[in-house]
Amino acid sequence: MLIVLNHKMNLTKEEVVAYEKIIREKTYDDTLVVCPSIAYLPYFQGENYKLGSQIVSQYDGGSHTGEVSAKQLRSLNVSHCLVGHSETRKDHNETELELNKKIKVLLKNGIIPILCIGETQEERDQNKAEDVLTRDLRNCLRELSKEEISKVIVAYEPIWAIGSGNVPSNETIEQTVSMIKTFIEEQYQESVKVLYGGSINKHNYTILKTIFNVDGFLIGGFGLDVQGIQEMLEI
C-alpha cells in the first residue's frame, strides 16, 4: 500500500528536522512518500521512505522565475510528484492542458506523477461526478503511451472532503475507484493504482483500509502529526 503525506505549506525548518528524524528511525511495511514544502526537499533524504514534490513546472527549464523543473526535482532524489491538487488548481488557475504537460515532463525525467482528481459537492449532488472525473482523466492523460499511463498514479480526492472532516462512505469510494480503474482500462488498455484522499485520520484509517480496490492514501493535515502517522502505520 502507498501512503503519501502532503505537508502543504506547513512546518518550520526546526519542525521539519525533528519530523524527519522520527520517520527515518522506522521501517515501514507500506511504501511511504513524504511531500514537504518545496524549500525542505533537501532535508528529506532518508532511505526508508520516498520523497515527493507538491509542485513542478510544465517547462523543462529556462526563464521561469519561481518555478521548479522536473530535472531539478530529480537531482534532489524526488521520486513522486503531485499534479493537479484542487488547491493548486484553484490558487494557480491550472488548466488540464498545463497538467498534461506537467505529467509528460515528470515522466520524461523518471518521476511518478500522482494526478489528483475530484468533484465538488454540487457536482456529486447533481450526479455529475463521473462526467467530471472522466473528463479530467481524458484531458490530463491525453497523448500518453500505454507504458506512460501505467506509471501514473491517480488520487481520488473529492473536493468537498478535503479538510472538511467529511468522508464518503466506503461504498461510494469503492464505486468511484472502480469507475476510474475501469475507465482507464477501457480507454488505454492499461491499469493504474488509485489512492483515496480527503479528511483521513488514524481513527477512520482502519475503516478506509478495508476498501479492497484502493491502493493507498493521500493524507493532508493529519500527515503533519508524525506520532499519529506512526501509530496509523502500525495498525
The rounded distance, in Å, linking the Cα atoms of 67 and 78 is 16
∠ CA 209-184-133, nearest 5°, is: 75
Q: Which alpha helices (DSSP H) does 34-128 contain, by range? A: 70-75, 86-92, 96-108, 121-125
Residue ranges in the chain assigned as alpha helix (H): 13-23, 70-75, 86-92, 96-108, 121-125, 129-140, 146-151, 170-188, 205-208, 226-233
Q: Is 157 a catalytic residue?
A: yes
Active site residue 64: no
- For residue 108, which amino acid is it? K
Q: What is the CA radius of gyration of the chain?
A: 17
- Please tell me which residue in 85, 87, 119, 123 is annotated as part of the active site: 85
> Which set of grid coordinates corresponds to residue 180?
476510474
Neighbouring C-alpha atoms within 13 Å toward the C-beta of 114: 32
Q: Which residues are catalytic?
A: 85, 157
